[in-house]
Structure 1
Amino acid sequence: MSVLLIAGSPSERSRTAALLRAVGERLSLRGAQVSELRVRDLSPQALLLADFSHPSVLQATAQVAAADVLVVATPVYKAAYSGVLKVFLDVLPQDALKGKTVLPLATGGSPHHMLALDYALRPVLQSLGAKSILPGIYATDAQVVLNPEEGYTIAPDISARLDEAVNSLVDDKLWRTFSNAGRFSPVPFSQVRCSV
């Protein structure tokens, strides 16, 4: 299973990045091939001018296309996901997430903005064709604490939800692999025979 972690924070070091890293570490331990895309590293001019042919946009689009699973993380500003993430999602092809499973993550200063995942981000992910969008995980500043030495501490309740989400991602991928393994060939309805 290939997983792309999409960091939608404009900051280099953030609670959003810490939450995303925690998911990536858990997925790596479960055998997933994990890579990361930091939207802040893409050409700002290309994103703002919707330059679909810019090399950084083409490379990012290719990373999205190659992944089975996307984990999209964003800080919440003014009850919505980040503008950095918005301009990136705007340059993706309309069917960029077709057939993909997505886990949305968000961080914010208080619990008052947790619905931004469901009312702002989820509709955009659906419009891009995501096959399955897992329940989002929202963490407040108090639940993801950045330590001075580049580390972070995640509250036990958020950690448990991350474990549950990773289990869902891995189980979904295993089920799809098993169901596509071809144990039985499809039978057209016209060939179905019934005997009593």
Structure 2
Amino acid sequence: MKITAIVGNPKSRSKTYGIAEEVLKHISANITPDGETADEAVVDLADTAPALLDWGNAEVMRQLERVCSSDIVIFASPTYKATYTGLLKLFVDQLPVQALANIIAIPVMVGGAPHHSLAVEAYLRPLLVETGAICPTRGLYVLDSQIDNLPDVIGNWYEASARVLRSVVVGKGA
């Protein structure tokens, strides 16, 4: 099983990165068949931000290929102006039409206030669905105030999502 997290925060190794990494580890530990190890990677778009403006850049193409060959992709972004970042959008815009067909996508957003919590469902999920991704679970919205309690926040989200996520993974034959 190949699981990738894409982090769309313009700041390298941000809170968003830490959250995406924890979500990836939690999903991997709970969804990978016994005795198997997942191929895990976290891609921090801040590290290649200028390259995203160079359409066809070799490093960006490698990142896109990684995403397109994954079984599960976590797309994580801070909430900027009530939606995801332009950095994440630049990356997703370079995906070919239906590039994520039959790939499970998990939308994750981080924000400072609960009144933006619907951004993960209203803005990030439709972007991923437009690329062909399967978004079988509710997205995860993490408040800045919850970061100290991250294992419980992710655990509660996973517990509510586990049954459907497992059924989709098994149905895909991942």
User: Normalising by the residue count of structure 2, what TM-score does the alignment of the two structures yield?
Assistant: 0.85
**Which protein has the larger Cα radius of gyration, Structure 1 or Structure 2?**
1
Contact kept in structure 1, 2:7 and 2:42, CA below 8 Å = yes
User: What SS does the corresponding residue of 1:169 show, helix, strand or coil?
Assistant: helix
1:121 pairs with one of 100, 119, 124: 124
Unaligned runs of at least 5 residues, structure 1: 146-152, 179-196
Alignment of 1:34-183 (within 5 A): 34-44=40-50, 46-49=51-54, 51=55, 53-145=56-148, 153-154=149-150, 156-165=152-161, 168-177=164-173
The residue identity in structure 2 corresponding to 1:177 is G
CA RMSD in angstroms, aligned pairs only = 2.1
Measure, in 2, the Cα distance between the counterparts of 1:131 and 1:85.
Answer: 18
> Structure 1 residues 162, 48: CA separation in 2 closer, same or farther (over 3 Å shift)?
same
Contact kept in structure 2, 1:70 and 1:103, CA below 8 Å = yes
Unaligned runs of at least 5 residues, structure 2: 33-37
**Structure that is richer in strand per residue:** 1
Identity rate, percent: 32
User: Normalising by the residue count of structure 1, what TM-score does the alignment of the two structures yield?
Assistant: 0.76
Contact kept in structure 2, 1:43 and 1:56, CA below 8 Å = no
Partner of 1:24: 24
Question: Residue deviations 1:43-71, cap 9 Å, x none?
Answer: 51x3235x1x2101211111011101111
> Structure 1 residues 5, 26: CA separation in 2 closer, same or farther (over 3 Å shift)?
same
The residue identity in structure 1 corresponding to 2:109 is A
Measure, in 2, the Cα distance between the counterparts of 1:29 and 1:156.
Answer: 15
Of 165-174 and 85-94, the range deviating more from structure 2: 165-174
**Structure that is richer in helix per residue:** 2
Measure, in 2, the Cα distance between the counterparts of 1:15 and 1:167.
Answer: 28
